[in-house]
Amino acid sequence: MFPEYRDLITQLKTTHPRFHSLFDKHNDLDHEILRLQSQSGNSLNDKIATLKKEKLRLKDELYRILREESQARA
């Protein structure tokens, strides 16, 4: 995720508590989505869709922080 910000991500995971929390939640959702996708059943589709939307929301927030921090450090 965001290879152009690899170094900044590494820094922010240790210095920016909000970023760290969002990053961990994003990864947790990714694992949960993969776990649910490996199971069968149509009832899981709604749950997976909801989790994917939340994961995208987190990714957008992470990107916003990365852009702000990148500009502040430029």
pTM, two decimal places: 0.91
CA torsion 6→7→10→15, rounded to 10°? -130
- The overall average pLDDT reported for the chain is 95
Number of domains in the chain: 1
Q: What is the pLDDT of residue 23?
A: 98
Q: What is the pLDDT of residue 42?
A: 75
Q: What is the pLDDT of residue 48?
A: 94
Domain housing 47: 3-73
Q: What is the pLDDT of residue 39?
A: 87
DSSP label at residue 3 = G
CB 69 within 8 A of CB 12: yes
CA torsion 69→71→58→16, rounded to 10°? 0
Q: What is the pLDDT of residue 40?
A: 73
- What mean pLDDT do residues 41-57 have? 91
Sign of CA dihedral 41, 59, 19, 27: positive
